[in-house]
Amino acid sequence: MTASATWTQMLSVPLAYLIGSVCFGVMIAGRRGINLREHGSGNIGGTNVWRVIGKREGILTVAGDMLKGTAAVLIARALGAESIWLALAGLFAIVGHNFPLYYRFRGGKGVATTFGVLFGYMPWVGVASLLVWFAAARLSRTSSVGALTMGGLLPVLTYLLEAEGVRLGFSVAVSLMLLARHKDNIQRLLQRKELKC
């Protein structure tokens, strides 16, 4: 591999972060003059947009956050990123959503963006993860339970469907980040104060 090819792969990581930093919930709510951090759960993701503004806006937020995750991975792949660089690009797209450059590093929890990244990076794991999230959220009627269940099982699903070192390491990192970003939800669940879907 040439030096220029290596630099191109490395470029995919900060580019993925910048793509991930685009937060659709903030933009959609901003057009209505609403600061999401002051309403509902205070989160900028699709669930809170749905609660505060409406179903259509919530769906648009989820779709946008998913698409940017997929786009970041596909662009990285088009730039020649492979193995560790492709994994890092996917990871930093999620980091961008959680700690966005454009919004003073105050972002969301990365669930929809994680799905988008998985669909672009490990499609079968993405489908399996979405099914796990849907089942857990539907049974509990709580979005955060779906996210926590999916996050906890992500390394297991990756091991069963991919069984490849870099991808498994990626899934462990994403799992830990998802669980950490939901620490407030975990506390509310333990106190039985978590908002329902």
pLDDT per residue as tens, the chain (197 positions): 555 668 889 999 999 999 999 999 999 998 988 888 888 777 888 888 998 999 999 999 999 999 999 999 999 999 998 889 999 999 999 999 999 999 889 999 999 999 999 999 999 999 999 999 999 999 999 989 999 999 999 999 999 998 789 999 999 999 999 999 999 889 988 988 877 76
- Report the predicted TM-score, pTM, of the whole model to 2 decimal places: 0.93
Distance CA 103, CA 132 (A): 31
Copy the structure tokens of residue 104.
Answer: 């003073």
Among candidate residues 134, 129, 102, 101, the one with its CA nearest the CA of residue 117 = 129
